[in-house]
Structure 1
Amino acid sequence: MRSAVLCLVAALALVSVVDSRRLPSYVKVCKRTDKNLNKCLMDAVATIRPYLLKGIPEFKIPPYDPLEIPVVTLTQGTGAVSYNATFRNLKAYGARDAIVKDVKIDLEDLKLEFDLLFPRMHLESDYDVDGKVLVVPVKGNGPSNANFTNTETNIKLYGKFETKEGKKYISLKEREVSLSIGDARLYFGNLFNGNKELGDSTNQFFNDNWRDIVKEIQPVVEETISTIIHEIVRKVFELYTFDELLPES
C-alpha cells in the first residue's frame, strides 16, 4: 500500500512538472496561420532579445556574450594561401549589440532564416598556425584577437518534424551561413617564436591586406555566429512542441 501511494505521489509530481512548463510570459506567440507571420516573428525576436543577454533559464539558454567555443580547426592546402591553423579557447564578444534586420520562416520546408547586423565583434583565442598567406610565410602560436565592424550575416536553419510521446517537435538538422565584413583589424602574438620585427611586419601585412586574410579566417567567424543562433533556436525547439511555439489558432 505504501509503495502504491509513493508511486501515485511521484506520478502526480511528474504531471505537475510537465504541466508547469509554459512559455515565459514575455514571449510573443505567433500563430502559424497568420498572414503576417514573418512580421510577428520579428516582433517576437525583438521582445525576447534583451533577455538573451543574461540567459533564459526557461529555455536552458546561458548568456551568449561572450560565446565560448573550445576549438576551431582550419586547413587550406593549395594555391597562394596554404596553412594549418587551430584556434582554441575562442571567445566572441558582440552578440549583445546584434541587430535583427529580418526573420523569415518557411513552414513547408521547415526553414528559418535570419538577417543580422553585428556592428562590432571581438574575437580572442589561442592560435597555432603554420603555412603561407599570399607570399608571406606564417608560423607561430600564442594569443590572437580580431575586431570586426559592420558584419552583415544571413543564417538559414533547416529542420524536420520528429514525434516524441505523441507530440510533434522541430529538430534542427543543417545550417548555412554567409557574411560580409565591413572592416577588420587582426593581431597574432608570438609569431616566429616571438621575433618582434618579423611579427610586427607580418601583422602589418595582415591588416594592410585584411580583405584577403579575412577570406581565409572567415570560417571561424561564420562558425561563431551560426553557433550562437543555432544553439538558441535548438534549445527552444527541444523544449517546446510545434503547437506550443506556433499554434494554429
Structure 2
Amino acid sequence: MRSSLNIFIFTFTGFVLTYGKMIPEYFPLCNRYDKNLNDCLLTATETIKPYLSKGIPELKIPSFEPFIIPEINLEQGTSALNFKATLINTEIYGLTDYTFTRFDFDVSNLQFFCDCNINCLTLKGNYTVSGKIFVAPILGSGTFTASVENCNASVYQKVKIEKLRNDKDFIVPTLTNSSINVSGPKANLQGLFNGNKQLSEITNKIINDNINELFQDLKPVLEKIMTEIIEDMLLKAIEGQVPFDELYPPLP
C-alpha cells in the first residue's frame, strides 16, 4: 500500500533539502555543529513551504500541491477489515499546510527526530475494491474522496555515512519508523456494486460510522507504507545528489 498517508514524505524533505552545491540558493544554511542546529532546521521547514508546493526540480522533488501517488495497493485481513484494494493516481492536497514542532538532528549518533502537524488533508482518485467490512460485502470500482481534519506525524530515522562517489561522504538511511494519528477522517466511494445507489449508500454509511475503528486497523499498514515512501524519497534526493558536508556543513 503506497499510502496517501504519505502525509509524511515531506517530513524529511526538510532535511533532504538542506543545503549544498546542488541545493537552491533560497534555502538557509544549517551547520551540523551549531548549538542552534535544531532551531535552524525548524526555521528551514517554514522557509521551504512555498517552494515545496511547486516542486524542487534541482533535486527532482515533485510538486506537493497536489502530491500524486500513481498506485497504492491495500490488503487487510482483520476481524473488522478483510479486503483488497488498489488506489490509482491518488491526489493529495494540503501537505504543505504543515507545522513542525520538532526537527532534531543528533549528529553524534546520526539520528533524526521529527514531529509535525498537518491541518487538513484531502485525497481523491480512482479505486477498485473487493472484500468485507464488518461482515458486510464491499465490491466495486470508481472514484473516491477522503479527508482528515488534522494529522499528527512523528518520524525517527537512523542513518549512516558512506563514501559513494568521488570519494565523498553521503547520508544513507538504515532505519526509519513513522507513526501517525488523525482526527475527523471521512471517506466516500462512488461506483460500488456497479453503481447500485442503495447498496453504495449503505456501504459508505458503514464505513463512516466506523471510520475511527477502521483507521486503527489500517494504521500499522499505513505507517509501513509511509516509512517506505520516506526512505525512497530520501535515497533519491540525498544519496544520489548531495554529499553530507554540503547538506550539513561543519562550522568554519
Conservation of the 8 A alpha-carbon contact between 1:157 and 1:230 = no
- 41-50 or 210-219: which moved more? 210-219
CA distance in 1, matches of 2:215, 2:191: 20
What's the offset of the Cα at 1:173?
A: 4.0
Amino acid at match of 1:26: Y
Conservation of the 8 A alpha-carbon contact between 2:80 and 2:214 = no
Q: How does 1:1-249 map to 2 (within 5 A)?
A: 21-163=21-163, 164-218=165-219, 219-220=221-222, 223=225, 227=229, 231=233, 234-249=236-251
What's the offset of the Cα at 1:108?
A: 3.6
Conservation of the 8 A alpha-carbon contact between 1:170 and 1:238 = no
What's the offset of the Cα at 1:81?
A: 2.1
State the Cα deviation string for residues 160-215 of structure 1 (Å, max 9, x = none). 21212111011234432211111111101111221101110111121121102223
CA distance in 1, matches of 2:120, 2:223: 12
What's the offset of the Cα at 1:159?
A: 2.4
Conservation of the 8 A alpha-carbon contact between 2:53 and 2:65 = yes
CA distance in 1, matches of 2:218, 2:91: 15
Q: Which has the higher contact order (CA 8 A, sep 6+)?
A: 2
The runs of 5 or more residues in structure 2 that have no matched partner are: 1-19
- Where 2:64 maps in the other structure, the secondary structure is coil
Q: Which has the higher helix share?
A: 1
CA distance in 2, matches of 1:84, 1:207: 18
Size of the aligned set, in residue pairs, is: 230
State the Cα deviation string for residues 26-79 of structure 1 (Å, max 9, x = none). 222112112222112111222222211112233222212211112111222342
Normalised by the length of structure 2, the TM-score is 0.81
Amino acid at match of 2:81: V
Conservation of the 8 A alpha-carbon contact between 1:139 and 1:192 = yes
CA distance in 2, matches of 1:26, 1:107: 24
Identity of matched residues, % = 33
CA distance in 1, matches of 2:205, 2:82: 19
What's the offset of the Cα at 1:120?
A: 0.8
Conservation of the 8 A alpha-carbon contact between 2:144 and 2:189 = yes
Conservation of the 8 A alpha-carbon contact between 1:177 and 1:226 = no
- Where 1:206 maps in the other structure, the secondary structure is helix
Give the structure with higher Rg (CA): 1
Normalised by the length of structure 1, the TM-score is 0.82
Q: 1:202 to 1:188 in 2, by over 3 A?
A: same
What's the offset of the Cα at 1:232?
A: 6.1
